[in-house]
Structures are given as C-alpha cells and as structure tokens.
Structure 1
Amino acid sequence: MSSNTPWQPTASLNNLRERAELLRQIRDFFACRDVLEVDTPLLSHGTVTDVHLAAFSSEFDHSDTGRKETLYLQTSPEYAMKRLLCAGYGSIYQICKAFRHEGAGRFHNPEFTMLEWYRTGYDHHQLMAEMDTLLQLILSTGPAEKISYQDVFLRELNVDPLTATVDQLQQTALQRGLDMHAGMPQDADTLLQLLFSLYIEPRIGAAVPCFVYGFPASQAALAKVNEGDPRTADRFEVYFKGVELANGFNELANPAEQRQRFLNDNAQRRQSGLPELPVDEHFLSALEQGLPDCAGVALGIDRLLMLKTGAEHIQDIIAFPVSRA
C-alpha cells in the first residue's frame, strides 16, 4: 500500500547544483589564502548560555563515566574552533551543520549550514574587508557599506543608542507606531533590538551588503569591548536585501571575563524562567592557555544561497527541510 507522505526534495536539482558550486567557491577562496579547513564535533558537553539561543539536547547512555550524560548539538562550532586556535592551529574555517531549537520559517530551518572562520592577527575591520571580498565574489555585488551602530540609529531614527534613556527609546518606538498591547519593554537592550530589527534592518543593505559595527557593549556576546569607546563592542553584523547574513567579533580572549559573561547569561536565564545551561569548560580551559589575537565570523550558507539564487524560501535551496526530514 502506497503512502501519501511527501518524500520528494523541496529544492530543485539546479539549486542543489548551485549549492555545490557555492561550496566549491568558498573552499577555493580559503585555499588561495592558506586558511585551513577543519572539522569539529557537533555534540558537546557544554553549550551556549545566550538567552536568545536555544540548543537541542540528547541523552548519551554510554559514557565512559558510567553515568548518563546530556550532550548538546552545536548552535555554532565557535567554542571548538577557538580551542584549535588556542592550540596554535592558526587561521581556520569550517563548513558544518548547526542546530537551533527555533521554529522553521522563511529564512530559518532548525538544522542549517554554517560557514565559520577565524583569522589570527586580524581585527574585526580586517575581517569585514575579507568578508566583503567573499560576498563580492559570490553575489557579484559592489563594495559593501560600513556604518557604526550609533551612526545608523542616528541616521534612521534620530536617536543615539549609546546615550538614550529607556524612556527616550520607548518614545521613539511609539512615534514609529510600535503597537505593544502586552506592554512596552522596560530595558534598553530589548528596545534597541526591537527598533533595529523593525525600523533599521529593512532600510539597509538594499543595493549592496551593509556591515554594521560597534554594537553596544551590553550586546557584546563573545566580542572584545572597544578600547577607544568602552560603551561599544568590537562586533559586527552583515545585512543584505532584508537578510541578516553574518555575525562577527574581534574575539574576547580573557578567560575570567568570558566565564563571568556565561554566569551573567545564566543569571538572566533564571530571571526569565529559562533553564540554566552548562558552560563549556573545555573552551574556558583553552582560553586560560591563551587565545591569539583574532577575529571570527559565522555566516549562514543557506541564506547566502537564497540571495545568490533569488530563492524566496529556505526550503527552495535545501533538499529536505525539517518538515520532511
């Protein structure tokens, strides 16, 4: 008896050929620059503590400890790749699967393909320049626009994100017509992220990719705080045609500060009613040995391929989305 379960791939053969060509272009790009391709585990004992990320977990019954262990699917290969950097492996890149426990949508599948790379001796501005070169190669765009987080807020919303009070940010949101029946957010970071995603992202990167750098220090994630302006972090994001493509950092190397950020994340998780998560002790031990000065960036390959092919939905460029996995 035949089943009516849809089994066919959602991507056309031509789009899968485009994917293969894209991966070849990326590998050639890094081979020419002597950047080593690496492979690290998808499963780990620690995971991201970031309040805005959710990892898949699995029970491992066969640990050599004799006890059941919870393992986590990576949301990115960042921690493992930084361990390689601490071990002296130099500039590296990886094309891998990443997993985020979020709903599927136009630009997101819970299992997706990521390109992540780290350049020793680079700062975030040098890495932005290299990424711009890659995007020009892949997407045939002109040179990207670069603008600071502060300047793009001033230009688009006439508000300074580094000095505005919560009340001023709330007023800006109301003036823009933000309807908050559930109540207006009471913290600056949530308001800034709302304003950025609703009123800035759609207005940047229309003709060429747009690099936004110098995010508030409170949104540093794993980036260094800027030496010249400690209100900001050496972090950048890349936007093109309404798509957030990449997130990059001048990488934080201080193990004590990194541990404190993880602890702060878990404290915020408790306050938000989210479960605390185990920090990656292997990663923190590696940082204690010393992370070389470096910059790194994670880029969504599926989104990049959508832009390259003009696809309207992520399922058009992956063989089997989560609904057919």
Structure 2
Amino acid sequence: MNLTALQERASLNHQVRVFFAERKVLEVETPALSQAGNTDPFIDSFSVNTPAGLRYLHTSPEYPMKRLLVAGSGDIYQLCKVWRRDESGKRHNPEFTLLEWYRLGFTWRQLMQEVADLLHILIPHLQKPPRFCSYRELFLETVQLDPHVATEAELSACARAHAINIDGDMPAQAWRDLLLTHCVEPHFPADQLTFVYHYPASQSALAKVDTFDGQRLAERFEVYLGALELGNGYQEQTDSAQNRLILVEDAHTRGDDIPVDERFLAALEQGLPECAGVAVGIDRILMCRMQVNDLKQVIAFPWEVA
C-alpha cells in the first residue's frame, strides 16, 4: 500500500467535486451492473451471472447518464469505478476509475477548455498552456501525410517507411491508428497537454459528424499528456436513429451475444438535449500528478492482488 497515493487520490477527488460544485454540475450515481453490455467492437465487458440473469459490469456510465439527461437532470458528472476486459500493465488495469461529465449547450470546443481548466488544477506542475491541434495537422507535421485523403496504399507505405512492418493488408483506419500511436503520439510534449480534434468520421462512435474543409470529420477530441491518453470527449450525437444504427452495426461487427441497450435507445427517442460529454481516466491523471510511470504506484490494490 502506498499511503501517499491514497492521500493524493483523496485530495484529487475533493478537487474534482469542488470544481463541479462551483459550476453547479450535479454529481450522480448510476448502476455498475446492466442488462446490456458495451457493443463497441474494441471494448469488452465483464459479465456476471446473477439470480435475475446475466448482467454486465459497465465500461462507462455513458448510457444511464444520458438517460438522466433525457429525464431533465441538467449538467451532471460521475466519479466511478468501471471495468473493461484488457491486459493489466503499466497503463492498463481492468478495473479503473473514470470521471465522466455532460454539459448542456456546450460545444466540444468549450468542453475542451473546461477539461484543460480541470486538468491544470489536478496536475499542478503543468505550467504551459495546452495546445490544440487537429488530427490532420499532427499527421502533416510528423509524417507529411494528410490522413483524410491518403489511400490505404499510401498509408501503408508511410507506415513501412517509418519502420512499422505489418504483414498483410489492413483497412485504412488501422494504418492511421498505427501511425498515430507509433509516429505522432511520441512527439507530444511531456510537459504540456495536447488536445487532438477532428478525427476521421470512421472514428466518430457516438459523436456528431460534420463537414470541415470538404471532409466529413468527427466532432470529438482526445487529450494527452506526453503520449499518455487521459480522456476523450464528444459533441454528443442526439439523433436517436443514428445512435441506434451505430449500436446495431457495432453489435453485428462483434458477432457475439451482447445485447444492445434498448432502454438507452428508447430514452433517446424522447430527445437527448444538445450537449457535449467527456470521460477522463482518474488513475492516469493521478500518475501524472504524482509523476510516476506505472498504474500500480497509484492503485491501492492492482488487478493481480485485488
């Protein structure tokens, strides 16, 4: 047990609550167990057999929080444990703490600034102002390639030119992801927050998509300190039919039996208010705050000993 880490976590949690209390954002709680799992093809849920049937540990409180927004909750946040089937390592623990919040009437750009304001409180040694860069700008700067117009062949050739050697063919988005993690992210400054925005429309998830400079781009962002991703935010997709299409397509891509969250989709049919939302990883923020490089140094009981 690291007593300093326990004390720093308590202090950080207090600062989070003060930050939102000052802005009149309501703290809420939602169920950790749900009858529906996450259908995202890249996120796996844990399942639990209960007397009432199979339940899934939530990977994010997004769906029930949006149900609260539909019901008229106003601005809300939640500080909670979530679970994802993932390897355990320096940057991953299958059980972790997430801070998620939604702001009515905010644009994703306003939310980026609020995230920056909070992170500069929670990571006090940050002195430089954050930098805000588009996905395209970063690719042009580091690999001299426009990711939105480059073909699959051009992306794969660029990856191989940067010593990323993968056998076989992959879709364009997979090559973009490799270039981002291997060539772009390593150049992010270690002493400054980097916000990346305007991702390809293929990575929109439940964010709105709009046309910018002739390209269909997702109205979403991710925030990093150095190459460590701390969170991601969206201009939330409010169209109920589009939300259903995405979840059903994701479930089909997965090809397993995880059910689509029909209660969530039914709530959206009543009308999700215009809002922006974001989720940030508290354990990773605590790592940055304490200037350590392993989650095990900030979690009282890591996965292996929990």
Q: TM-score range by the shorter chain?
A: over 0.9
Partner of 2:292: 311
Amino acid in the other structure paired with 1:129:
Q
Among candidates 142, 154, 168, match of residue 156 of structure 1: 142
Distance 1:251-1:205 versus aligned 2 partners, 3 A rule: farther
1:34-82 CA-to-partner distances (Å, cap 9, x unmatched) read 0000000000011211111000001122x3xxxxx21100000000100
Partner of 1:3: none
Amino acid in the other structure paired with 2:6:
L
Alpha-carbon shift at residue 211 of structure 1 (Å): 0.4
CA distance in 2: counterparts of 1:291 and 1:205, whole angstroms: 37
Alpha-carbon shift at residue 205 of structure 1 (Å): 3.7
Q: Does 1:55 align with 2:45?
A: yes
Among candidates 219, 223, 233, match of residue 234 of structure 1: 219
Alpha-carbon shift at residue 194 of structure 1 (Å): 1.1
Partner of 1:294: 275
CA distance in 2: counterparts of 1:13 and 1:74, whole angstroms: 28
Q: Does 1:21 align with 2:11?
A: yes
Partner of 1:209: 193
Kindly indicate whether the alpha-carbon contact (under 8 Å) linking 2:194 and 2:226 is maintained by their aligned counterparts in 1: no
Among candidates 138, 142, 146, match of residue 122 of structure 2: 138
Alpha-carbon shift at residue 154 of structure 1 (Å): 1.0
Distance 1:45-1:205 versus aligned 2 partners, 3 A rule: farther
Partner of 1:4: none
Kindly indicate whether the alpha-carbon contact (under 8 Å) linking 1:42 and 1:98 is maintained by their aligned counterparts in 2: yes
| SS, match of residue 14 in structure 1 | helix
| SS, match of residue 199 in structure 2 | coil
Partner of 1:74: 58
Q: CA RMSD in A?
A: 1.2
Normalized per residue, the structure richer in strand is 2
Partner of 2:239: 254
| Structure 1 runs (4+) greater than 3 angstroms displaced | 227-230
Alpha-carbon shift at residue 184 of structure 1 (Å): 3.7
Amino acid in the other structure paired with 1:71:
R
Matched residues, number: 303
Alpha-carbon shift at residue 255 of structure 1 (Å): 1.1
Alpha-carbon shift at residue 268 of structure 1 (Å): 2.0
Q: Does 1:174 align with 2:135?
A: no
Which runs of no fewer than 5 residues in structure 2 stay unpaired? none
Kindly indicate whether the alpha-carbon contact (under 8 Å) linking 1:205 and 1:239 is maintained by their aligned counterparts in 2: no
Amino acid in the other structure paired with 1:60:
T
How is 1:187-198 mapped onto 2 (pairs within 5 angstroms)? 187-198=171-182
Kindly indicate whether the alpha-carbon contact (under 8 Å) linking 2:233 and 2:279 is maintained by their aligned counterparts in 1: yes
Amino acid in the other structure paired with 1:16:
L
| SS, match of residue 258 in structure 1 | helix
Alpha-carbon shift at residue 227 of structure 1 (Å): 4.6
Alpha-carbon shift at residue 186 of structure 1 (Å): 2.0
Kindly indicate whether the alpha-carbon contact (under 8 Å) linking 2:59 and 2:83 is maintained by their aligned counterparts in 1: yes
* TM-score, structure 1 normalization: 0.91
| SS, match of residue 226 in structure 1 | strand
Alpha-carbon shift at residue 258 of structure 1 (Å): 0.9
Alpha-carbon shift at residue 32 of structure 1 (Å): 0.4
* TM-score, structure 2 normalization: 0.96
Q: Does 1:263 align with 2:248?
A: yes
Q: Does 1:111 align with 2:95?
A: yes
Identity %, equivalent residues = 46
Amino acid in the other structure paired with 1:32:
E
